[in-house]
Structure 1
Amino acid sequence: MQAEMALPKDIVVGSDDSIYIADSSAHRIRKLTPRHN
């Protein structure tokens, strides 16, 4: 994974194993989903 974030502030893992990253400086929440092979 390659991503740019201004100021990552918090990380949460959802019940479906998705990862949510709060970027407080950019006012965004990034969602990463797992790949199941």
Structure 2
Amino acid sequence: TGIETVITTVDPQMKQYIQPGHEINIVVTSAKDVKLT
């Protein structure tokens, strides 16, 4: 999926945790204001 590609691009080690049929909850924290569009 698209988000899977983004995650593995940012952190290639995440690929081992992303498998079909598995649900993943992702929490992103930052001290900066970030707008997701």
Higher strand share: 1
Q: Which has the larger radius of gyration?
A: 2
Structure number with greater CO (CA < 8 Å, separation at least 6) is 1
TM-score of the superposed pair, with normalisation by structure 1: 0.24
Higher helix share: 2
TM-score of the superposed pair, with normalisation by structure 2: 0.24
